[in-house]
Amino acid sequence: MSSIYGVVGFPLEHSLSPVMHNAAIKHLGLEAEYKTFEIDPAEPEALANFCYESDLNQIAGFSVTMPYKQQIMDYMDHYDPLAKIVGSVNTVVNEDSMLIGHNTDAAGAMQALQEKTKVPGLRALVLGAGGAARAIAYSLNEFGADVFVFNRTFEKAEELAAEFKLEPIEHRQIAPMKFHIIVNATPVGSGALNESLLSADQIQSNSVVMDIVTQPLETKLLQTAKEKGAQIITGERMLLHQAVGQFELWFDQKAPMDVMEQALYKALESRGESR
């Protein structure tokens, strides 16, 4: 019988996870299917029920996306240490009826960054202090970068920085710091939030600027960075790498990354986004 996987979140109509995972499943000839499980945040019990009933519905594992990456932790039987430290779960494995929470966002972000830059010893700026920012700031620090955190609500930047022994930074202090690595880990730049948290004078020509936003791929921040001559990394790179990490946790074998990448870019093209 086919095992069922899927993504839990809201809204999911633009989710790119099904095309990547189903392409990999098909390529390897696995008896599995990856679906979408849209859970309305207006129904308070829905997430808990989904988790409690996952066995009943033969769900072998699932991805977790906005807005549930933190909330889902309440329903896990165990976490991996990284998910616990970062405080966010994006991957769940159903192991003999025990739900195990993992975080592949942190490694995914680092793999995306390392396609364009080395990390150790470089000065890095993380924009945001939410779940995604926590994962990225933590891993940048683990990889040996000198990490600063900027956030609209400064107290949250201070809290995050204190927890991971990083530095909070105010907007006016950013330009003189000449950051080499800059990562936007907020939704600013997506959809209606069509703006950039940084201006051109806060980016260097030798900076590497990554955005986690995937709609659009080329956000205002990345456009500004490009104009400045900086290297840019669009949001689908992290999306791809975190999905590869998920697939390997569920199926315990190497994911066919090329196949997943092709499926991702095909879906993006049909959405009018090109590389």
69 binds ligand ATR (CB under 6 A): yes
- Is residue 153 within the footprint of ligand ATR (CB under 6 A)? yes
Q: Hey, how many other C-beta atoms are within 10 angstroms of the C-beta on 38?
A: 15
Q: Is 69 a catalytic residue?
A: yes
Distance between CA 42 and CA 226 in Å, rounded? 40
H or E element, residue 138: helix 131-142
- The residue (of 97 and 153) whose beta carbon lies closer to ligand ATR is 153
Q: Please pick, from the candidates 132, 239, 263, 268, the single residue that binds ligand ATR as defined by CB under 6 A.
A: 132
Strand partners, 93: 61, 100
133 contributes a contact to ligand ATR by CB under 6 A: yes
130 touches ligand ATR (CB under 6 A): yes
Q: Quick one: DSSP state of residue 120?
A: T
Residues from 74 through 103 that contact ligand ATR (CB under 6 A):
none
Q: Which of 94, 151, 242, 246 binds ligand ATR (CB under 6 A)?
A: 151
Please give the structure tokens belonging to residue 102: 């993992």
- C-alpha 19/C-alpha 34 separation (Å) is 9
Torsion region of 14: left, alpha or beta (phi above 0 gives left; psi -120 to 50 gives alpha):
alpha
Q: Is 128 in the site for ligand ATR (CB under 6 A)?
A: yes
Give the active site residue among 69, 156, 165, 266. 69
CA distances from 12 to 15, 120, 178 (A): 5, 36, 37
Residue whose Cβ sits closest to ligand ATR:
130
Of 23, 188, 217, 263, the one binding ligand ATR by CB under 6 A: 188
Of residues 200-239, which lie at the interface with ligand ATR (CB under 6 A)? none
State yes or no: residue 187 binds ligand ATR (CB under 6 A): yes
Contacts of 88 (CB under 8 A, 6+ apart): 69, 70, 73, 103, 105, 131, 132, 134, 135
Q: Does 129 help bind ligand ATR (rule: CB under 6 A)?
A: yes
24 or 209: CB nearest ligand ATR: 209
Instruction: Check if the beta carbon of residue 143 is closer than 8 Å to that of residue 274.
Output: no
Distance in Å, CB of 173 to ligand ATR, minimum: 17
Tell me which residues touch ligand ATR (CB under 6 A). Answer: 66, 69, 128-133, 151-153, 156, 186-188, 193
Q: Could you give the residue numbers annotated as active site?
A: 69
